[in-house]
Amino acid sequence: MKLERILPFAKKLLENAITSGDAAVDATVGNGHDTLFLANLVGENGTVYGFDVQEDAIRTSTEKLNQHGLANRVTVFHAGHEQLARLIPANHHGKVKAAIFNLGYLPGSDKSIVTKPETTISAIDQLLEIMVPEGIIILVIYHGHAEGAIERDALLHYCQEIDQKKAHVLQYRFMNQQNNPPFIVAIEKR
Ligand code: SAM
């Protein structure tokens, strides 16, 4: 057999977690690939909340969603994910089923705009409050650039310290590959 690769594994987790009608979060919208993927999973009665700090990301992802006729089930906020508890409407608090963070910088864009450990951790803390029990948070950690390595270390430290009564935390990583390929941390709220 072939071991599941990193990005397909992230998608598999989302597919397992989300059913039609659910609420989900794309914490780093970028070009909108994950937003689109989530929009298909939540179905016509579901909702996706997306966040990005770059105006270009909001425009590109909105165009993509429009092209696929899925914009009506997605709200994209031009705001940092550290504001998610304030921006996600109260009627969805306690109901969010899954969230994905594709960390680092947007390929082909301004590489100085990167996710940061403090804001990523703040967003995870908020998600753990507003998710449904057994809701899942997926972090795809890109650590091949300098800030990425710092964010990796901060996130691994933070995740290892999460009380096991509060969440189960899984790391999925190929250990013997060169060039620091991305890996996954999945957090299941208890
Ligand atoms: N999932 C995206 C896609 O499908 O194209 C790729 C995401 S890219 C690796 C990371 C994104 O995180 C960038 O678009 C960047 O602007 C965004 N970002 C950086 N800091 C952020 C923050 N505090 N809140 C939300 N997004 C942020």
**What does CATH list as the number for 6-189?**
3.40.50.150
Would you say the CB of residue 54 lies under 6 angstroms from ligand 1?
yes
Would you say the CB of residue 33 lies under 6 angstroms from ligand 1?
yes
Ligand 1 centroid from CA 173, angstroms = 21
Would you say the CB of residue 138 lies under 6 angstroms from ligand 1?
no
| Percent of the chain residues past pLDDT 90, beyond the cut | 98
Query: Considering only CA atoms, which residue is closest to atom 19 of ligand 1?
Result: 115
Average pLDDT of the chain is 97
Query: Considering only CA atoms, which residue is closest to atom 23 of ligand 1?
Result: 80
- Rounded mean pLDDT, 164-184: 97
Domain positions in the chain: 6-189
- pTM score: 0.98
156, two tokens? 């691994």
End-to-end CA separation in angstroms for the chain? 31
* Separation in Å, CA 173 to CA 64, 89, 119, 170: 30, 34, 23, 10
- Please tell me the predicted confidence (pLDDT) of residue 27: 98
Question: Do the Cβ atoms of 176 and 165 come closer than 8 Å?
Answer: no
Contacts of 142 (CB under 8 A, 6+ apart): 102, 103, 104, 148, 182
Tokens 């507003």 sit at which residue?
Answer: 130
For 101-114, write each residue's pLDDT tens digit. Answer: 999 999 888 899 99
Contacts of 185 (CB under 8 A, 6+ apart): 138, 139, 141, 155, 156, 159, 169, 170, 171, 172
Would you say the CB of residue 83 lies under 6 angstroms from ligand 1?
no
- Residue 167 has, within 13 A of its CA and on its CB side, a CA count of 23
- Please tell me the predicted confidence (pLDDT) of residue 108: 87
Question: Do the Cβ atoms of 140 and 10 come closer than 8 Å?
Answer: yes
